[in-house]
Amino acid sequence: MHNLKDKVALITGGSRGIGKAIAKRLASEGAIVAINYTQNESAAIQTKNEIEEAGGQAILSKFDVSNFDAVHEEVDKIIEKLGSIYILINNAGITKDTLLMRMKEEDWDSVISINLKGIFNCTKAVTRNMFKQREGRIVNLTSVVGEMGNAGQTNYAASKAGIIGFTKACAREMAPRGITVNAISPGFIKTDITDQLPEEIRKDYISKIPLNRFGSPEDIAGAVAFLTSDDASYITGEVFRINGGIYT
């Protein structure tokens, strides 16, 4: 267990999948979690209820990570309500997959806007507070696709590769103020999306993974708990691969 008692953690896209697992794990470690969501309020409320039923603390924070002004407004509200933000988990992301020759401009723009610009917006919004308190933990969710590429995902791969560069640059800028910035690069994780894959395709994906299974959202949440704890105070600018060995 990592002691995060009363540390305020903002998790973007925190209502479902990997974000939900991270929110629940950090809350179980004692953090006060702000669960960001954009549209699915019922899922966000369900996550909040599960955290509170387990004895944790959580609030809801509705905003679109791609909206610069909305992000800053809501982050300021969280800081005003809870006093500070110690942890930022940039998890929100979307996919709009298709081959490049068929990709519409809006498919490119929306993925880049949410996946990459969203991380800029949220990180910039918490920076002044973290600089002032001279401590903080930022963890950005990239993807194995951003490292090795994948046909039909040029927009997604570009956004996730950009996150790696952003992470390394931010780590250098923020280290003098006691803030660590790292990235986690998941491989194939069992979520609603992978559950919808045809059985034949799922088996094909699994056959390429040395550990012969999809990862779980909890696998990612465990790494986040470590990176946001005092145990990881000397780690910054790193990309942690959690992919079952599919890309090393």
Catalytic site positions? 156
Strand partners, 185: 241
Cα separation, 50 vs 55, whole angstroms:
9
In terms of Cα–Cα distance, which of 52, 10, 57 is closest to 35?
10
Q: Around Cβ 29, how many Cβ atoms within 10 Å?
A: 21
In terms of Cα–Cα distance, which of 68, 25, 20 is closest to 40?
20
Tokens of 207: 């056959």
H or E, element range at 112: helix 105-112
